[in-house]
Amino acid sequence: MVIEAEHAAPSDQVVAAPADRLGDADLVPELRRLERLIARAEARRADIIAIAHRRGVPQAQGFASPTAWLIALTADPPSVCRSRVRMALALRMMPHAAAAFAQGDLSGCRVRLLADACASSPQVFARDEVLLVSQARSLSARAFPKALSHWQRLADPDRALADAERAFQARRLCVSATWQGMVRLDGDLDPESGQTVLTAIRSLAEPAALDPADSRTPAQRRADALVEICRRHLDSSDRPRRGGERPHLILALSPGELAADGLVDLEAGPIPAEAARRLACDAQLTPTVLDGHGRLTAVGRRARVVPPALRRALEARDGGCTHPGCDVPARWCDAHHIRHWAHGGPTTLANLRLLCRRHHRLEHEAGHLPQRE
Ligand SMILES: [Zn+2]
Ligand SMILES: [Zn+2]
C-alpha cells in the first residue's frame, strides 16, 4: 500500500527505516505505529468514498453504484468493495467512531463491528456511541464482540429474539462425498446447538491434546472426535433401529478381496484393503452367494465375527484398550485379530486383543499409509 500524506511528518511515513535494520525491541512499537497509520489511511479512504458518493461522482462517471465504481477503480473483489462502501456510509452516522478512526485509535475491523451495531439499532447507537467507542478502544479482540452483542440484546430485545429465531431457522448441515473420495462437511448451527456440538467434540479432542505422544493436529483431533461420536452412536443399543437392523457401514467383499492389497469401494469412496480388514476384525458378517452375473442368489445367517460369549471373555481379560497408556473403556473398543482371520488367523482369545478405534487404526494402517513429512 502506498500512502501519500500531504505533509509527510516522520510518523506518517510508511517506511521510516529499512525493516531489517530494526532491532528486536523496535519491532512491536513499529507494528503499533503501522497499525495506527493503516487505520488513518483507511479512515481517509472511507472519507473519500463517502464524499464521492455524496457528490454523485460514480454516477457521473457512468457507474450504477459506488461499489461498482470502486471495483472498477481498485480491481478488488466485489465483497471487499461492498464492505468498504458500507463502512464509508455508516461512518457518517457515527461521528465519534469516525473521529477515533481518523486519529488511528480504532482499527478498521472495530469500525466495521460498530457499523453493524449502528445499522441494527441506529437510535440507541446514537445514544450510546461514546460508550461503545471507548469499549472498542479498550476491550480485547474476544471481549469487544461479546460486549457489542450484549449491548445489542439490551438495545433492542425484540430484535434480539427475532435474530435468535432467524439463527435457529438458518441452521443447516451439508454432508457430501467429493470426487476425490473425501466427505465434506459444511454447515451453520444456532448458538445453542453449536455449543452442544462443540462441547461433545472438545470432550474427546481436548484430553488427547494433553498426550505428548499424540502427534495429530488439532483439526485432525476434532475430525476424529466427530467420527468417534458417530461410531458410539451407531454402537449404542438404545438408539432406534432401522428395520430391526443397527445401521452400520456395509462392505460387500469376497474373502479373496479382503485378504488382498489395494483399494476396496465404499459408498462414499474407496478405502485401503487394510482399513477393510480393520473393519472386518470385529464385524457382523452376512454370507452371500452371487451367480455368474454378480446377482445375489443366496443369503446365509448373519453372525458376529467375535461371538458375544468370546467378546465378554475378552472384555474381562483386557478391561479396555490394550495399547500402552490408553484408557478407553472396553465398550468403545474393537476386538482386533492379532493374525487376521482373512489371513487364516483363528477367532480365539489368544489371537484377540481389545483396541480403541484410534489404536486399532494405528495397528492396521500405520505401516501401510504413505508417510507424511
Ligand atoms: Zn484389527
Ligand atoms: Zn487406545
Average pLDDT over residues 338-364: 92
Q: What is the pLDDT of residue 6?
A: 43
Q: Does residue 370 surpass a pLDDT of 70? A: no
Q: What is the dihedral of CA 142, 146, 149, 151, to 10 degrees?
A: -120
Q: What are the distances in angstroms from CA 8 to CA 99, 324, 331? A: 20, 66, 71
Task: Kindly give the distance from the C-alpha atom of residue 336 to the centroid of ligand 2, in angstroms, as a whole number.
Answer: 12
Task: Kindly give the distance from the C-alpha atom of residue 358 to the centroid of ligand 2, in angstroms, as a whole number.
Answer: 6
Task: Kindly give the distance from the C-alpha atom of residue 321 to the centroid of ligand 2, in angstroms, as a whole number.
Answer: 5
- Each residue's pLDDT tens digit, 177-208: 887 778 899 999 887 788 889 889 988 888 77
> What distance in Å separates the CA atoms of residue 271 and residue 183, rounded to the nearest whole number?
12
Task: Kindly give the distance from the C-alpha atom of residue 329 to the centroid of ligand 2, in angstroms, as a whole number.
Answer: 9
Q: Does residue 10 surpass a pLDDT of 60? A: no
Exposed, middle or buried: residue 32 (CB in 10 Å: 0-12, 13-18, 19+)?
A: exposed
Q: Does residue 368 surpass a pLDDT of 60? A: no
Ligand nearest the Cα of residue 358 is 2
Task: Kindly give the distance from the C-alpha atom of residue 76 to the centroid of ligand 1, in angstroms, as a whole number.
Answer: 53
Task: Kindly give the distance from the C-alpha atom of residue 359 to the centroid of ligand 2, in angstroms, as a whole number.
Answer: 5
Task: Kindly give the distance from the C-alpha atom of residue 266 to the centroid of ligand 2, in angstroms, as a whole number.
Answer: 25
Q: What is the pLDDT of residue 38?
A: 95
Ligand nearest the Cα of residue 278 is 1
Ligand nearest the Cα of residue 357 is 2
Q: What is the pLDDT of residue 72?
A: 95
Task: Kindly give the distance from the C-alpha atom of residue 189 to the centroid of ligand 1, in angstroms, as a whole number.
Answer: 36
Q: What is the pLDDT of residue 233?
A: 84
Q: Does residue 2 surpass a pLDDT of 80? A: no
pTM value is: 0.48
